[in-house]
Amino acid sequence: MSTQKTEVYASVVIRLLQSVIYDDDRKYWNDILNNETSVRDYFSKIGIELILNRQDGFAYLKQVEFADD
């Protein structure tokens, strides 16, 4: 059995990989707001951007466009 520590924002990362998160889903919405920097950093390492619209109350992932070399 692994003794590796799971990050506190792991559940919201998994949820974002599954679908859009809306602000009426209070648990995940609060997790995003409380861990925004860590979640952004996590996804940026693999070329994915967190789109977080606080005004309209939703968050989702978007693949970063890479320039053709």
Lookup: tokens for 1: 């059995």
User: Chain-wide mean pLDDT for the chain?
Assistant: 92
The CA distance from 4 to 58, in Å, is: 31
In tens, the pLDDT along 3-45 reads 678 889 999 999 999 999 999 999 999 999 999 999 999 999 9
Mean of pLDDT values over 50-55: 98
The CA distance from 1 to 25, in Å, is: 32
